[in-house]
Amino acid sequence: MYKIKPVLLGKVVQSKGRMTYFFGDLERIDSAIVFWYIEGGDKVVLVDTGISEPELKKYSFGMPYEELQSFEEALSKFGLKPDDIDIIIQTHLHFDHCANTRKCRNAKVYVQLEELKFAYSPHALFAGSYPLEFLKDIDFRTVEGDREILPGIRVVLTPGHTPGCQSVLIETEKGVSAISGFCSIRENFFPPERIRGRWPVMAPGVSVNSLQAFDSALKLKSMADIIIPSHDIEMACKEELP
């Protein structure tokens, strides 16, 4: 069984509506810049890698950001260096999820084929989310649909936020834990009572296809015992999950 170690690199202050479709646009929240270290196997596995403060400020148009630690500092707390990483599961290729991946020179990087194709030739509306500098010199291993990566770790296709977004299901002592590939907080999976009657989940506020994103959230919620939303600050601050 695996243990999931959230690694919080920093906090972005942004509109809640970027996470929750048509809800909370005027509310400001802390959004986690985070990756996950999956402990328990004979391979060193990360889910996503996050981004550094200078790079985030360059591509996020000045969004307020508080960096707590660098990627290298975070890994060192586990006795690791970037070259020690064997596998990275890339949920999607937006800059805040993959900017540090190129530092892991020995890693095999699993990504959906549709996501990689879109990253190299994105629609104009999303071109700013896919800087090509973060895709260079990476050993990409493409996946098409749902697939086991290692025993007890599998990816499931959850498109909508991006064309090839994937989420990660991990066997733990407390059941199947799901790291949502798409941008989300707890309310995406457990909406406020006043809207729960019509929406059992909420799509991300930013998506290439909001209908797909809604269906993906519903799918993931049905597959997992524990949901780990990818930008939820409370989850990202925990020492271990579940």
Q: Which residues pair with 156 in a beta bridge?
A: 167
For residue 214, give both structure tokens: 């809604």
pTM of the model: 0.98
SS3 51: coil
The number of folded domains in the chain is 1
C-alpha–C-alpha distance, residues 9 and 48, integer Å: 12
Residues 199-227: pLDDT tens digits?
999 999 999 999 999 999 999 999 999 99
- What pLDDT, on a 0 to 100 scale, did the predictor assign at position 175? 98
242: in domain? no
CA 98 from centroid of its chain's CA atoms: 9
49: in domain? yes
- What pLDDT, on a 0 to 100 scale, did the predictor assign at position 62? 81
51 contacts 63 by C-beta, under 8 angstroms: no
- What pLDDT, on a 0 to 100 scale, did the predictor assign at position 63? 87
C-alpha–C-alpha distance, residues 145 and 102, integer Å: 24
For residue 114, give both structure tokens: 């549709």
72: in domain? yes
Amino acid identity, position 155: V
177: in domain? yes
For residue 116, give both structure tokens: 């990689």
Spans in the chain with pLDDT lower than 50: none
Domain of residue 56, residue span: 3-236
- What pLDDT, on a 0 to 100 scale, did the predictor assign at position 200? 97
Query: Is the dihedral angle over the CA atoms 187, 193, 197, 198 positive or is it negative?
Result: negative
C-alpha–C-alpha distance, residues 118 and 207, integer Å: 13
C-alpha–C-alpha distance, residues 154 and 89, integer Å: 10
- What pLDDT, on a 0 to 100 scale, did the predictor assign at position 85? 98
**Domain with 110 in it: what CATH number?**
3.60.15.10
- What pLDDT, on a 0 to 100 scale, did the predictor assign at position 237? 98
206: in domain? yes
119: in domain? yes
- What pLDDT, on a 0 to 100 scale, did the predictor assign at position 55? 95
241: in domain? no
